[in-house]
Structure formats: structure tokens, C-alpha cells
Amino acid sequence: MDIILKYFDDFTPAQMQQLQALAGLYQEWNEKINVISRKDIDALYEKHVLHSLSIAAEHDFADGSQILDLGTGGGFPGIPLAIFFPNVQFHLVDSIGKKIKVVQEVAAALGLQNVTTAHSRVEEIKNRKFDFVVSRAVAPLADLWRWSKPLVKSSNRSVNDPSIHRPGLICLKGGDLHEEISMSGTRPVLTHIYDLFPEDYFKEKYVVYVKN
């Protein structure tokens, strides 16, 4: 928890309680269903929670926004973001049923009223549009954008405020992304997470934002 408070200091008591509960919940569930690497569970707050919150450090979601977490796995980045943005609606989707079971149980234990879940492939999501799709390294950028684009709302091009981000895809990726970006045909905005959180773990990790 200390590493979260090193970079964020404006949590409500309810948010603090939820964040503190994450360690015990994931420890318990990871012993039943392996959703987090065994070597990473002790570094949950840095490698999973703070990593997820790098999106919050760079993007401020407006109250009432609808966010899709594509390939959420054990609930990242969706669960930490849902704690951070209690007035934003998050829909967490994964094709692996046991992982969604963990996400459902964690969200229920935390009392998160702004989280819904679905055991499905992203291609099966119909008749819904989201302000943003978020994801953490589940596929190449080309695939993420191909899956996301039909689900993202049209941009409100009349908005001139540069602080308001246009709808799009926000994903967490690491390493040399030049070839992946070239193959995707997109022109993303990259934020080096190490600039937000100067910890060794984030030296080659990025928030990648593709506008619709």
C-alpha cells in the first residue's frame, strides 16, 4: 500500500479500505485459482495496482463514463480503476470463466457498485458503446484496436478543451513498441510510466492511447 500512497494522497476512507483489502482478497483467491503469477503476488501493489493506476494518472474519466476492460484477467486494470473512479461505470470482460469468477467475487467483497462483468469474447459484445476501452497487454496493438474501434463512441469533435480526451483505446504495454505500432496503422500517444512513477519496474512500460 505504501507505494500507492507515495503517488496518490486524496483517497476517501472508503477507497483506502478497498485498496487495503486487495492484498488479502487476491492472496486468498490466488490460492484457489492462479490469476496472478506466484512471484508477483507479493508485489501486488506495485506490479498490478499502481501499474493499473498509471491510466488514472494520465486520464481523468468524467463521472458517468462507460469503460470496457478488455481481457481483464484477474481484474486489472479494471478493479483498481473502479476504486479510483467510483462514479464511472466499468464493464470487465474475459474469455476465461474462472478469471471472471475471481473478478466477480473481488468486486462483491469490495462493495464496488460500479463494476459489471461478462464471461465472453470481445467480439460477442453487441449493441453497446463505451467512452474508452482499457486493456493490459493481452494482445498486439493491431488486434486491440480492431476489437475496440467498433465499441468506442464517436468522438465529440466540438470539444476544444485539451484536457478532455477523445474516446478511444488506452492500453498498458511494455518493451520496444515501434514494430507493433507500425503494424497497427495507428498513431498512438505514448506516456512513459517511469515519468509518472519513477520506479525501476516501470522503466520500459507505457500507457498507450489511441484516439477514435
CATH number at residue 88: 3.40.50.150
pLDDT tens track for 124-171? 898 899 999 999 977 999 999 999 999 999 875 544 555 567 899 999
85-113 burial code (b ≥16 CB/10 A, e <16): beebbbbbbbeeeebbbbbbbbbeebebe
Computed on alpha carbons and rounded to an integer, the radius of gyration of the chain in Å comes to 16
pTM of the predicted model as reported, rounded to 2 decimal places: 0.94
Domain range enclosing 183? 2-155+162-211
User: Is 122 annotated as a binding-site member?
Assistant: yes
Question: What total of structural domains would you count in the chain?
Answer: 1
User: Is 208 annotated as a binding-site member?
Assistant: no
User: Is 71 annotated as a binding-site member?
Assistant: yes
